[in-house]
């Protein structure tokens, strides 16, 4: 019986050979295909064992970094001033992925970006752990601190965005209420899960970046866009009194009425008529509705899109929700849209961009949060260069100067705290109704401004949702203006 | 595979000089040295895992190492006492695979506990349980060595074993699903906290039966029938046992919804038929029969279809039915040639990694090199079993050793082939590696039988009773002896 035993032994060896041949195919020849398959979660998990790069502010202060630990994950992500910067940095969770800059610049931070390739090659040769690159933001801590303090002092829900008009650099981006990203980077999965559950269940939506992701009716701040359209197309000029000063008008084709704030007649009228300048100065609704009617739907939409409204693919590099003027189906809708109501909805970032464009003489700069990509040793690899937004200037220098003059007048009639004699501000407020019962719902308070008016260094947009601490009585000037001025003052005081 | 020239020669020598001190070395010292080497490997594995997972050497690994060392120390002493001439490689091979298994389960426990926790489930560590099962299994091995002084006595209980094996094989299939189903396959008997896979024991019992049956009826099967395309076909009336085995295999496939058990059963029976008859026609007929049955099963049962579809292209449904297969390939591929190092990979991403797919964990962390080495250890173990079959003098022992060795290798082939997409995946466990008491217990009973046969093969002839094998067999051995 030994002959068949040997044959069986031979069969067993053939089985072993088949196994080894197949394993050679799987583990040697095809190994990279399997190892690098996008659904193979190992590559993601490996990143957690690598030192992730830092996120630093424009002045170099560390906002997020990874510190060495003794546990299996090797590094712990730490966010200093977590809630203040959370809308910008986002979080970096091993379970729930990343958001904000952590996500947008992930390939730099985790060291896989091709921009870092030369460094990684030398790392391979010198045998060091390939560390991630660093990201320097455009955010200025002085502006950010002031904006965050202003919003949180009275527990406002809303957002602040500050932009440097000449470059598009985002100097501040605040969204409140905010959240602490630190527990989401915890090495304890239970902590991560508890935190995300709490954030998801919170009706105040602290994880929502209101600056980029929330679109709200801009109210009277939208008059800047309507005025730009009217002046650019020659529909009207700045000072001819040809717009109604009436406290109330009836919308064309309907019996619906539209009124000025507190049912006032627009001041400084002559024969019941006011100019565009006066209408901006006192924020007269009836005049601007009529002006929007004169401008017409197509011109208004065209002008809005030159300011960036309607752009669906804006990234800074955080993605920004598209703002819109709505479909404007009829003249009544056009009248309402003229005062930033109806279906007009802007993100705070978009409204800041409108102010910054006017401040920059009509040239809209592409907004940007990242100033520099730095190597692991903090030497610069690539630097952000200012870019004009595509499509040419939104308005001419001439029109921009005229609107700037109107905004300076408007600021003089705007109340609220924080006015400083040595800083001239150009601004526009907004008090936007919303909801199903607009007259009994606390309005959103807006304030867009730039300063110094004659050499603009900073443009801001502040929105305080649902009246802030003033309820139904809230206005842009009483609630939002103070936060905006505090941000401007802090930035300019620092010599920004 | 060559038979060392000394084996038969020394036997002859001792027949001429009965009662003298045996000159044949027992080779127990070799076994102890090899066990010491294996212990060193296992210590290294534990240290690496502890260092990789917690950057320190945890004191608890000393408990595992000490427990492991004591268990195999005792096993070695028992072999010294009950089977002094046993093959010195069989126990170390089993010990090595077993030790690596405990280390790997220890390494997998923390991530698996975390996964179970995140799904809201409880988890009890597999490594301590596996160590306890190792102890119980070694006890069973020692008991078999102690109770069965001569393997030939087993041939008297052939039909008893056969009946018991058949019952165990079919039992989970006919029991209600509430106590026999795990993940769609009816392979279990679960009573309270105890769950056993009777199929693991059925394999061994059926091999014992088939060996005994074939020895007693061997002449029948060697009568030639008609010739067909160069093959000598058996006479149709001799086909009975093969047809019965085939029917049982297909029945098991149908009621247990699992290809593995019936593959093991039928493959081993075919191999043993071939061993007994030396006729390859039996093998071909068997393969054709099984392919036919399996094809019909594939048409009729969705669980077989799913397994086959996952084999053809697991990526077609990578997040659904193919998930496990895809994850297994990712695990193996990520390991590459040299592996991620023990504790350095993420094998926990593969579902049921600590039982059916544990080989993928070794492939990922020890790489192709490590896994190939482990396959070689399996092959060494199986080859030492076959070698004992070559050397032992009785037909029953030859058939038994051949059957057990083939079963071991066959199971490894089906398991590793399954997780690496060489063949469709089955629900079989990897002997000595997978977590689970039934598999370990059955594997050590097989080891005990192989030790017993190898002891009989090498034990000096004088101390043995006269062989009861047919006279004709002895001359066959001499004729077939290699030169």
**The 3-state secondary structure of B283-343, one letter per residue:** HHHHHHHHHHHHHHHHHHCHHHHHHHHHHHCHHHHCCCCCHHHHHHHHHHHHHCCCCCCCC
Q: Is residue B18 part of a domain?
A: no
Amino acid B357: pLDDT:
93
Does position A446 have pLDDT exceeding 90, yes or no? yes
Amino acid B468: pLDDT:
57
Percent of chain B past pLDDT 70, that is, above it, reads 86
B251 compared with A17, residue with greater pLDDT: A17
Question: Could you read off the pLDDT of A117-153 as tens digits, one per residue?
Answer: 665 555 555 544 567 889 999 999 999 999 999 999 9
B334 vs A1, A16, A35: nearest CB? A35
Q: How far apart are CA A338 and CA A291, in angstroms?
A: 7
Q: Is residue A67 part of a domain?
A: no
B333/A contact by beta carbon, under 8 A: yes
Question: Who contacts A17 (Cβ-Cβ below 8 Å, separation ≥6)?
Answer: none
B 96-115 residues inside an 8 A Cβ radius of A: 114
Which DSSP category does A26 fall into? I
In whole angstroms, how far apart are CA A273 and each of A207, A242, A259, A279? 47, 5, 15, 10
Q: What is the average per-residue pLDDT within B54-77?
A: 93
Helices (H) and strands (E) in chain B, counts: 17, 6
Number of Cβ pairs < 8 A linking chain A and chain B: 149
Question: Could you read off the pLDDT of A18-62 as tens digits, one per residue?
Answer: 999 999 999 999 998 898 887 888 876 776 667 889 999 999 999
Does position B48 have pLDDT exceeding 80, yes or no? yes
- The band of A180, judged by pLDDT with boundaries at 50, 70 and 90, is very high
Does position A453 have pLDDT exceeding 60, yes or no? yes
Amino acid A382: pLDDT:
86
Residues pairing with B182 in the sheet: B185
Percent of chain A past pLDDT 90, that is, above it, reads 60
Does position B17 have pLDDT exceeding 80, yes or no? no
Question: Who contacts A121 (Cβ-Cβ below 8 Å, separation ≥6)?
Answer: none
Q: Is residue A326 part of a domain?
A: yes
Q: Is residue A291 part of a domain?
A: yes
Q: How far apart are CA B127 and CA B115, in angstroms?
A: 17
Cis previous bond, A452, omega within 30: yes
Q: Closest Cα partner for A90 from A317, A313, A314, A311?
A: A317
Cis previous bond, B282, omega within 30: no
Q: Given A220, A275, A283, A410, which residue is catalytic? A: A220
Does position B467 have pLDDT exceeding 70, yes or no? no
Amino acid B180: pLDDT:
75
Amino acid B54: pLDDT:
75
Q: Is residue B144 part of a domain?
A: yes
CB < 8 Å to B274, chain A = 4, 7-8
Number of domains in chain A: 1
A347 and A341 Cβ atoms separated by less than 8 Å: no
Range of the domain at B386: 25-459
Q: What is the average per-residue pLDDT within B211-220?
A: 82
Q: Is residue B329 part of a domain?
A: yes
B459/A contact by beta carbon, under 8 A: no
Lowest model confidence (mean pLDDT) among B64-68, B192-196, B318-322: B192-196
| CB contact (8 A) between residue B336 and residue A35 | yes
Does position A197 have pLDDT exceeding 70, yes or no? yes
A42 vs B346, B382, B422: nearest CB? B346
Range of the domain at A288: 236-311+318-341
Q: Which residues of A touch B (CB under 8 A)?
A: 1-13, 15-16, 18-20, 22-24, 26-28, 30-35, 37, 39-42, 45, 70-72, 189-190, 193
| CB contact (8 A) between residue B420 and residue A189 | no
CB < 8 Å to A41, chain B = 346, 349
Q: Is residue B471 part of a domain?
A: no
Closest residue in A to B373 (Cα–Cα): A20
Closest residue in B to A36 (Cα–Cα): B334
Q: Closest Cα partner for A404 from A143, A172, A228?
A: A228
Amino acid B13: pLDDT:
40
- The band of B59, judged by pLDDT with boundaries at 50, 70 and 90, is very high
Q: How far apart are CA A304 and CA B322, in angstroms?
A: 51
Q: Is residue B467 part of a domain?
A: no
A83 and A168 Cβ atoms separated by less than 8 Å: no
Q: Closest Cα partner for B271 from B298, B291, B310, B245?
A: B245
- The band of B6, judged by pLDDT with boundaries at 50, 70 and 90, is very low
Residues pairing with A458 in the sheet: A451
B333 vs A20, A26, A189: nearest CB? A26
B313/A contact by beta carbon, under 8 A: no
Length of chain B: 483
Rg, Å, chain B Cα set? 23
B227/A contact by beta carbon, under 8 A: no
Number of domains in chain B: 1
- The band of A414, judged by pLDDT with boundaries at 50, 70 and 90, is confident
Does position A354 have pLDDT exceeding 80, yes or no? yes
Q: Is residue A153 part of a domain?
A: no
Amino acid B232: pLDDT:
67
On average, the pLDDT of chain B sits at 85
Question: Could you read off the pLDDT of A71-92 as tens digits, one per residue?
Answer: 767 788 999 999 999 999 999 9
B8/A contact by beta carbon, under 8 A: no
Helices (H) and strands (E) in chain A, counts: 18, 17
| CB contact (8 A) between residue B368 and residue A40 | no
Q: Is residue B306 part of a domain?
A: yes
- The band of A189, judged by pLDDT with boundaries at 50, 70 and 90, is confident
Q: What is the average per-residue pLDDT within A357-383?
A: 91
State the pTM of this model. Answer: 0.63
B409 vs A15, A26, A193: nearest CB? A15
- The band of B11, judged by pLDDT with boundaries at 50, 70 and 90, is very low
CA A238, chain centre distance (Å): 31
Does position B471 have pLDDT exceeding 70, yes or no? no
Lowest model confidence (mean pLDDT) among A73-87, A120-134, A460-474, B45-59: A120-134
On average, the pLDDT of chain A sits at 89
B447 compared with B180, residue with greater pLDDT: B447
Amino acid B52: pLDDT:
80
B476 compared with A364, residue with greater pLDDT: A364
Cis previous bond, A376, omega within 30: no
Does position B18 have pLDDT exceeding 80, yes or no? no
Percent of chain B past pLDDT 90, that is, above it, reads 48
Catalytic residue at A427? no
Closest residue in B to A3 (Cα–Cα): B480
A134 and A55 Cβ atoms separated by less than 8 Å: yes
């Amino acid at each position: 019986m030994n002959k068949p035993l040997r044959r069986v032994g031979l069969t067993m060896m053939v089985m072993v050979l088949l196994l080894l041949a197949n394993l050679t195919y799987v583990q040697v020849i095809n190994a990279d295909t399997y190892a690098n398959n996008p659904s193979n979660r190992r590559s993601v998990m490996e990143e957690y064992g690598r030192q992730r790069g830092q996120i630093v502010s424009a002045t170099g202060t560390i906002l997020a970094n990874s510190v060495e630990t003794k546990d299996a994950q090797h590094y712990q992500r730490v966010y200093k001033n977590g809630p203040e910067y959370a809308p910008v940095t986002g979080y970096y969770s091993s379970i729930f992925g990343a958001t904000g800059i952590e996500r947008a610049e992930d390939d730099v931070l985790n060291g896989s970006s091709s921009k870092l390739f030369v460094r990684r090659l030398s790392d391979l040769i010198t045998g060091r752990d390939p560390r991630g690159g660093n990201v320097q933001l455009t955010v200025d801590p002085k502006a950010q601190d002031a904006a965050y303090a202003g919003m949180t002092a009275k527990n406002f829900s809303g957002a602040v965005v500050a932009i440097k008009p000449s470059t598009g650099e985002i100097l501040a981006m605040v969204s409140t209420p905010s959240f602490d990203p630190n527990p989401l980077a915890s090495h304890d999965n239970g902590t991560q899960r508890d935190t995300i559950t709490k954030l998801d269940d919170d009706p105040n939506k602290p994880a929502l970046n209101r600056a980029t992701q929330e679109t709200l009716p801009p109210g009277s701040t939208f008059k800047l866009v309507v005025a730009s359209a009217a002046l650019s197309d020659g529909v009207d000029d700045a000072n001819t009194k040809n717009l109604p000063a009436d406290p109330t008008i009836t919308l064309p084709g309907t019996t619906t009425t539209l009124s000025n704030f507190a049912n006032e007649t627009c001041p400084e009228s002559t024969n019941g008529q006011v100019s565009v300048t006066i209408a901006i100065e006192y924020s007269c609704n009836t005049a601007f509705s009529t002006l929007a009617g004169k401008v017409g739907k197509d011109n208004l939409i065209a002008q809005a899109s030159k300011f960036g409204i309607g752009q669906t693919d804006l990234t800074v590099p955080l993605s920004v929700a598209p703002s819109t003027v709505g479909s404007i189906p009829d003249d009544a809708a056009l009248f309402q849209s003229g005062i930033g109501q109806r279906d007009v909805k802007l993100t705070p970032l978009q409204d800041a961009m409108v102010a910054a464009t006017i401040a920059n003489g009509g040239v809209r700069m592409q907004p940007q949060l990242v100033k520099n990509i730095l190597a692991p040793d903090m030497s610069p690899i690539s630097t952000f260069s200012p870019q004009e937004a595509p499509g040419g200037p939104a308005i001419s220098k001439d029109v921009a100067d005229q609107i700037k003059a109107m905004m300076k007048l408007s600021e003089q009639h705007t109340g609220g705290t924080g006015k400083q004699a040595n800083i001239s501000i150009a601004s526009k407020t907004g008090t936007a109704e919303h909801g199903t019962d607009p007259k009994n719902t606390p309005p959103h308070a807006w304030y867009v401004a730039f300063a110094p008016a004659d050499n603009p260094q900073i443009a801001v947009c502040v929105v305080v949702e649902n009246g802030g601490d003033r309820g139904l009585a809230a206005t842009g000037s009483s609630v939002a203006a103070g936060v905006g001025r505090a941000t401007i003052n802090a930035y300019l005081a620092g010599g920004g | 595979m060559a038979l060392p020239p000394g084996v038969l020669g020394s036997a002859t020598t001792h027949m001429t000089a009965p009662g003298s001190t045996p000159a044949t070395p027992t080779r127990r010292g070799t076994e102890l040295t090899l066990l010491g080497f294996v212990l060193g490997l296992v210590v290294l594995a534990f240290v690496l895992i502890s260092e990789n997972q917690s950057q320190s050497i945890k004191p608890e690994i000393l408990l595992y190492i000490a427990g492991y060392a004591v268990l195999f120390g005792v096993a070695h002493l028992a072999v010294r006492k009950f089977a002094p001439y046993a093959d010195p490689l069989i126990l170390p091979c089993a010990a090595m695979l077993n030790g690596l298994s405990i280390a790997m389960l220890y390494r997998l426990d923390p991530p698996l506990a975390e996964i179970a926790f995140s799904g809201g489930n409880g988890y009890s560590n597999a490594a301590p349980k596996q160590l306890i099962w190792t102890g119980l299994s070694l006890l069973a091995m020692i008991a078999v060595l102690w109770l069965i002084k001569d393997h030939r006595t087993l041939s008297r209980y052939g039909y008893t074993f056969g009946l018991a094996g058949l019952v165990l094989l079919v039992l989970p299939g006919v029991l209600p699903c509430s106590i026999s189903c795990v993940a769609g396959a009816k392979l279990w008997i679960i009573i309270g906290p105890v769950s056993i896979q009777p199929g693991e024991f059925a394999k061994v019992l059926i091999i014992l039966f088939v060996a005994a049956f074939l020895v007693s009826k061997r002449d029948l099967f060697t009568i030639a029938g008609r010739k067909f395309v160069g093959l000598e076909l058996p006479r149709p009336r001799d086909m009975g046992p093969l047809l019965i085995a085939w029917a049982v295999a297909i029945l098991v496939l149908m009621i247990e919804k699992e290809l593995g058990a019936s593959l093991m059963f039928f493959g081993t029976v075919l191999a043993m038929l071939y061993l007994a008859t030396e006729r390859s026609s039996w093998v071909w007929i068997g393969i054709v029969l099984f392919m036919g049955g399996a094809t019909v099963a594939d048409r009729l049962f969705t669980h077989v279809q799913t397994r086959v579809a996952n084999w053809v292209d697991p990526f077609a449904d990578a997040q659904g039915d193919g998930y496990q297969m895809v994850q297994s390939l990712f695990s193996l591929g990520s390991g590459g040639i040299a592996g991620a190092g023990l504790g350095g990979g993420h094998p926990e991403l593969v579902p049921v990694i600590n039982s059916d797919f544990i080989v993928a964990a070794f492939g990922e962390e020890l790489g192709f090199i490590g896994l190939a080495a482990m396959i070689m250890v399996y092959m060494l173990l199986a080859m030492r079993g076959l070698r004992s079959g070559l050397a032992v003098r009785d037909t029953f022992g030859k058939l038994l050793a051949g059957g057990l060795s083939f079963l071991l290798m066959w199971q490894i082939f089906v398991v590793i082939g399954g997780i690496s997409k060489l063949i469709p995946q089955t629900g079989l466990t990897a002997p000595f590696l997978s977590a689970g008491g039934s598999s370990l217990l059955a594997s050590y009973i097989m080891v005990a039988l192989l030790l017993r046969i190898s002891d009989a093969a090498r034990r000096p002839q004088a101390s043995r009773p006269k062989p009861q094998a047919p006279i004709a067999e002895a001359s066959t051995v001499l004729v077939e002896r290699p030169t």
